[in-house]
Structure 1
Amino acid sequence: MMIRRVLATAVALAVTTPAALLSASPAYADAKATAQTPGRQSNPAIDKLKAATAEAQKAYDKASQAKADGAVELAKTLGELDGAHPLAVALAAAKRAAKDAATTKKNADQTVTDAKTALDTLAENATEEERGAAATTLSKAEAAETAAATAKAATDVTAAEAQKKVDDARGAAIRTHGVLDKAVDAARAVKVAADAALAKATKEAKEEGEDCEVEPGLNAEVNGLPDKLVAGTTTTFSVRVTNGSDRHMDEVIAYTGVHATDSTGLKDTSKFFRLQWSTTSSTQWQNLNKDSYIDGLGALKAGAHADVKLRLTLDKATPAGNGVLFIAADFYNKDGVCGGTPGADMYEFDINAAGTKPVTTQDATPSQSAKPATGSTGITPQGSSSGAPATTGMNDSLATTGSSSPTASIALAGGAAVLLGAAAVFVVRRRKTGGDA
């Protein structure tokens, strides 16, 4: 058996650089893989997985501590907003002013009422001087009432604004803690995925069987896959598997898998996808599972190729987001020799909601094994016009990347966990018999 180096790279990226994994292109392609035999003391892929799970644990512990610290800070902030916080002090003052203004307005209303009553109840024999004095008193009372009403309206506005500021501050504090809470969930998801990948890889490494070899001459490339797909549509494209080596391959199989998330990166939306295949020898469309092998290619002599038609249907309910298509190939010979492509190419594409029309659409192109320039991350930025599979160029060290947006980091970490789970399919059994890959 051979644990594909692509898995170790995927895990390392997922738990240490979720921002690089999802804000740019997912990066799993690896130019070379090292076969490990059961008797060796050290397995680089396993070692990297162990390091990755350790990093995932650290990230989870850090997120959990941040959440605990955040809870303390939230309680403190909410307490202050009920008392000594400047906004709370301003609100209390505004409420007092509004209350005083309301009392003044109430008294002014009563004064007007009393003045009207006094004027209306003057005796019939009241003098003109007495009637003039009563009218003057009413006029002054009405003017005071108008001023009191204006003052009350102003203080009510001030109090409402002060209340809104306190409510906004309260809401902001709660939302901040909610971000920390989601960060814990995202970190937990990455940790669980990393632990599962390590467990599966360790189990595979312990099972009996011979290693298969990396065959650089075996190539699988996609043709006709747009870099933008629309929910509710069906896209037909093809995969060409080429035996560029100088040996005959008795049985060739192609691995194909589709994975997707919504625009937040937190929700796996692959359930809305239906992937089917057909070949010259198997003309009927056959369904593929989420991750599966296509076994209708048969044998390939040196220099020959075989084509597989693929049909990808997106349900109308598919949320807008991002998707990736995995492509790899393996071979098995009757003499027990087996091998596969050095890694798995990934073709990224955007997913638009049903009824929308992409502005521009280009076809994905096969990987060119490009090497990144000095100082470059080696990752093609997401949103570029190319739908080509990404290549990394990273070495055995674990890279680190940060994000200025906590919300973005959470989404990226969640998406990293989804893709990490997808990458786990590349822990493939490589037995000499070739019958149970």
Structure 2
Amino acid sequence: MKIRSILATAVAVAVTTPAVMLSVTPAFADTKPAAQTPAKPTVKELEKAAAEAEKAYDEAVAAEKTAYEAVEAAISDTAPLTVAAKAARKAADEAATAKATADQAVTVAQAARDALTEDKDASDEDKAAAETALADAKTAAATAATAATRAEAESKAATKLADDAKAEAYKALSKAQDATKEALAAKTAADAALERAKQEEEENPGGGACVDEPGLTTVVKGFPSTVTAGTVTTFSVRVANGTEKDMEKVLTYASVHATDKSGAKDIAKYLKLKWSTTQSPTWQALDGDLYIDAIGALKPGEQADIKLRLDVDAKTPAGQGLTFIAGDYFNKDGSCGLTPDAAVNEFDIEAAAGKPAPKPTPKPSTSTSAPAAGSGVTPQGSGSSVPVNTTSGTLAATGSSDATTQLALASGAAVALGAGAMFLVRRRGAGADA
């Protein structure tokens, strides 16, 4: 699922009107209005939406807690239906024992009657008494059989009631957990939209915010669907200018996010992304803003490749994760743009089997072809992987809250949402000093 689709859905939950939803997330919305673009919401409106989303999330968390307590009560040995089921089972077992005893009495009475029948010396009175005893035993056995059948049916019914109650409690808990995830998604998106609006208002008080640029693309190559703890994975990203305009400074945003199998624990600290280029072959860690300032300028039709490496610590538990990669450009005249669709690669994480092998330190491969003069890039579509120039200079601080790194840990989808929200908030402020 695309991050923009998740965010568009989440904002729709958090903000009550389609107009707000479409205007706060233009980079992630799947569709545009057929007629006219709705007015952009104010910071005050977004603050209200964020507050409502937070309230809804708090209520969802409380409801999930109540549902969990209901499950605990339903599965308890002291639950009324469980107690009733145990009593019915005990009664059924006792009825079955009584039936077995009655059946045995019939067998004994039958044997006594048969013995007297064959005994020529037996009196008629003894034979008659034996017949009566057998009849009484059969009657008692029939009554015991009926009671046992009824008790067994009642036991099954009582057990079913108890089991159904437990199943309903679990079902209600599952719905509550889903509701919490949805509320978290809505809250995350609403917070991201508000943060983005505040940053744009601060950085561009007169307007002129960065626009979506479909012609600026990021394509990831060679990323696997599964990684294992204690290993290193190398892949690459191709950034291309498919427009007819110059992009004077192109930046690449790259981040990695992960949770354990439950989706409740953030394990991203065990995963590290590094980058290198032919011009700068030493592996380098991402800067604090998660941007790679290694491309420089891209003319119309040009593209450039960056090598990336994902180091997975040997202590990493099994789980799932994703990488989130996008591109921005900034020009001296103040114009800027960003990829509307980031490259999102979901992957499974496998725990190390036994003692992990020593982690290798791969060397980035180098191109045997001579780098192109100038920017070190080639026209898009040439089919060759080219080196890129690493430019000097630093990025301005984004001003984003540290809390954004802890968002959306409830599930794989929520992890993606958290990545998208952080990406949305942080990249808008990057390049302010470009």
* SS state at 2:290 partner: strand
Residue 257, structure 1, aligned to residue 252, structure 2: no
Q: CA separation of 1:104/1:214 partners in 2, compared to 1, >3 Å: closer, same or farther? A: closer
Counterparts of 2:147 and 2:418, CA distance in 1: 62
Q: Report the TM-score, using the length of structure 2 for normalisation.
A: 0.55
Counterparts of 2:96 and 2:10, CA distance in 1: 61
The residue aligned with 2:279 is: 281
Contact 1:219 1:341 in 2 (8 A): yes
1:329 CA displacement? 2.1
* SS state at 1:193 partner: helix
* SS state at 1:159 partner: helix
1:274 CA displacement? 3.6
Q: Residue by residue, what CA displacement relative to the aligned partner does 1:291-339 show, whole Å, maximum 9, x if unpaired?
A: 7111233455665433111123556866465x54322223456x57462
1:271 CA displacement? 5.1
Counterparts of 1:30 and 1:15, CA distance in 2: 10
Residue 307, structure 1, aligned to residue 305, structure 2: yes
- 1:352-431 correspondence to structure 2 within 5 Å: 417-422=414-419, 423-427=421-425, 428-429=428-429
1:238 CA displacement? 1.2
* SS state at 2:169 partner: helix
Counterparts of 2:46 and 2:196, CA distance in 1: 8
Q: CA separation of 1:240/1:30 partners in 2, compared to 1, >3 Å: closer, same or farther? A: farther
Contact 2:259 2:267 in 1 (8 A): yes
Choose between structure 1 and 2 for higher RCO, CA contacts under 8 A separated by at least 6 residues.
Answer: 1
Q: Residue by residue, what CA displacement relative to the aligned partner does 1:134-168 show, whole Å, maximum 9, x if unpaired?
A: 76566556656765664455344323311221112
The residue aligned with 1:196 is: 191
Q: Aligned AA for 2:429? A: R
Q: Aligned AA for 2:181? A: A
The residue aligned with 2:238 is: 240
Q: Aligned AA for 2:418? A: G
Counterparts of 1:424 and 1:242, CA distance in 2: 23
Alignment partner for residue 336 of structure 2, among 334, 339, 362? 339
Q: CA separation of 1:415/1:350 partners in 2, compared to 1, >3 Å: closer, same or farther? A: closer
Q: CA separation of 1:183/1:198 partners in 2, compared to 1, >3 Å: closer, same or farther? A: same
Contact 1:336 1:433 in 2 (8 A): no
Residue 14, structure 1, aligned to residue 17, structure 2: no
Deviates more, 1:151-160 or 1:346-355: 346-355
- 1:84-95 correspondence to structure 2 within 5 Å: none
1:214 CA displacement? 3.8
- 1:96-175 correspondence to structure 2 within 5 Å: 128-129=122-123, 132=127, 143=138, 147=142, 150-151=145-146, 153-175=148-170
Aligned residues with identical type, % of pairs: 32
1:182 CA displacement? 1.9
Q: Which runs of 5+ in 1 are unaligned?
A: 1-5, 19-26, 34-41, 118-126, 356-410
Counterparts of 1:313 and 1:421, CA distance in 2: 21
Contact 1:212 1:337 in 2 (8 A): no
1:255 CA displacement? 0.3
* SS state at 1:426 partner: helix
Q: Residue by residue, what CA displacement relative to the aligned partner does 1:87-128 show, whole Å, maximum 9, x if unpaired?
A: x9x9999998887776676678789999999xxxxxxxxx73
Q: Aligned AA for 1:240? A: R
Counterparts of 1:327 and 1:45, CA distance in 2: 29
Contact 2:329 2:336 in 1 (8 A): yes
Contact 2:50 2:191 in 1 (8 A): no
- 1:283-298 correspondence to structure 2 within 5 Å: 283-288=281-286, 292-298=290-296
Q: Residue by residue, what CA displacement relative to the aligned partner does 1:266-289 show, whole Å, maximum 9, x if unpaired?
A: 766645644322112321223448
* SS state at 2:246 partner: coil
The residue aligned with 2:216 is: 219
Q: CA separation of 1:140/1:285 partners in 2, compared to 1, >3 Å: closer, same or farther? A: farther
Report the RMSD for the aligned CA atoms in angstroms: 5.8
Counterparts of 1:287 and 1:297, CA distance in 2: 16
1:229 CA displacement? 0.8
* Number of matched pairs: 343
1:246 CA displacement? 4.2
* SS state at 1:325 partner: strand
1:186 CA displacement? 2.4
The residue aligned with 1:390 is: none
Deviates more, 1:171-180 or 1:58-67: 58-67
The residue aligned with 1:363 is: none
Q: CA separation of 1:201/1:191 partners in 2, compared to 1, >3 Å: closer, same or farther? A: same
Contact 2:233 2:309 in 1 (8 A): yes
Q: CA separation of 1:342/1:223 partners in 2, compared to 1, >3 Å: closer, same or farther? A: closer
Residue 326, structure 1, aligned to residue 324, structure 2: yes
Q: CA separation of 1:188/1:218 partners in 2, compared to 1, >3 Å: closer, same or farther? A: closer
Q: CA separation of 1:112/1:134 partners in 2, compared to 1, >3 Å: closer, same or farther? A: farther
Q: Which runs of 5+ in 2 are unaligned?
A: 15-25, 33-38, 113-120, 353-407
Q: CA separation of 1:94/1:265 partners in 2, compared to 1, >3 Å: closer, same or farther? A: closer
The residue aligned with 2:181 is: 186
